[in-house]
Amino acid sequence: MYYELYIDVFWMTNFMMDSLLLFAVRQMLKCPVGKGRIFMGGIVGSTMTCLIVLLPLSGLLRFFAGGILTALVMIRVGFGKQPVRMYRKAFVFLYISAFLMSGILQLFRPYMDTMSLFFVIASAAYAVLKGIQSLWENIQGEQKRICEVLLIQNEKKCRVRALLDTGNLLTDPVTKEPVCVADAQMITAFLGENIDKESLKLHYLPFRSVGGNGVMPVIRIRQMQITEKQTIQVENPLLAISRGKLSEEEDYQMILNPDIVGGKKDGCKSSNARTV
């Protein structure tokens, strides 16, 4: 008994499945990576799977290479350099997503007599995964919402994860604009060690917190794009630079002021923000 394997069809099928799984994990982690990296992770994962199938490997080695190594390499390529904790989460979420998606595909297996139908059902399974994830986020509530944020200053761009904190009511005392808080290390990576104080309109903002009072340097960048369920484009936002890490576990590098994305109830209080 033998099987005929069409390697091109096998590679394309795995590429689509790997890419959809990485997109699902990106959605779950709110990881700020572009589509190009995700597709590159899918290409690497599919290629490695084809090589593992073709090479004469022992059962244990084949299991390790196909079940663990391929997943780790896919995540590293697809999500780039991230904290180790993020990789661990991505690995777990990848297998949870794969388990759910394979269950959905198995349910419709009797009806998948053509490759095009398989792609349609696989895409529908991905949509179901996104729906489950959205439902879970709604159950958890909105006290801890993680968004993707793109910071833009001239030719410089930086993608980060941001916490939408309903307790952050920091406001500039002069302009009355809402102020977001940014991690100092992230700002250095974004703008460099020596920032242009004049072009960034550097000034200082007094604050009061549980840990005490003080002042934080505040800068104004050209644009900020916040993506959660939709994308909000904010022109000339104010960023206060925190001296310490905002998240010890590096889950996020910014704390958004809720007024800049619509507040709790009353609508956006920033005149520079608009939905795109």
pLDDT at 182: 92
Residue 69 forms part of a structural domain: yes
Q: Are residues 15 and 115 in the same domain?
A: yes
- Distance in angstroms (rounded) separating the CA atoms of residues 186 and 254: 9
Q: Are residues 132 and 92 in the same domain?
A: yes
pLDDT at 230: 81
Structure confidence by residue, pLDDT tens digits, 76-87: 999 988 888 888
pLDDT at 267: 40
CATH number at residue 221: 2.40.70.10
pLDDT at 235: 92
Q: Are residues 60 and 149 in the same domain?
A: no
Domain endpoint, select from 140, 165, 189: 140
pLDDT at 180: 92
Domain endpoint, select from 94, 120, 140: 140
pLDDT at 264: 42
Residue 252 forms part of a structural domain: yes
Q: Are residues 174 and 96 in the same domain?
A: no
pLDDT at 142: 47
pLDDT at 33: 83
pLDDT at 74: 93
Residues of the chain with pLDDT under 70: 1-3, 110-118, 133-144, 209-212, 262-276
Q: Are residues 167 and 58 in the same domain?
A: no
Residue 2 forms part of a structural domain: no
Structure token pair of residue 148: 């993707």
Grouping H, G, I as helix, E, B as strand and the rest as coil, residue 157 is strand
Residue 191 forms part of a structural domain: yes
Q: Which domain range does residue 101 map to?
A: 7-140
Q: Are residues 20 and 132 in the same domain?
A: yes
Please tell me the total count of domains within the chain.
Answer: 2
Q: Are residues 126 and 22 in the same domain?
A: yes
Q: Are residues 122 and 229 in the same domain?
A: no
Residue 152 forms part of a structural domain: yes
Burial 112-140 (b: 16+ CB within 10 A, else e): eeeeeebbebbeebbeebeeeeeeebeee
Q: Are residues 158 and 121 in the same domain?
A: no
pLDDT at 181: 92
Grouping H, G, I as helix, E, B as strand and the rest as coil, residue 1 is coil
Grouping H, G, I as helix, E, B as strand and the rest as coil, residue 183 is strand
Return phi, psi of residue 153, to 5°: -140, 105
Strands 238-242 and 179-183: what pairing? parallel
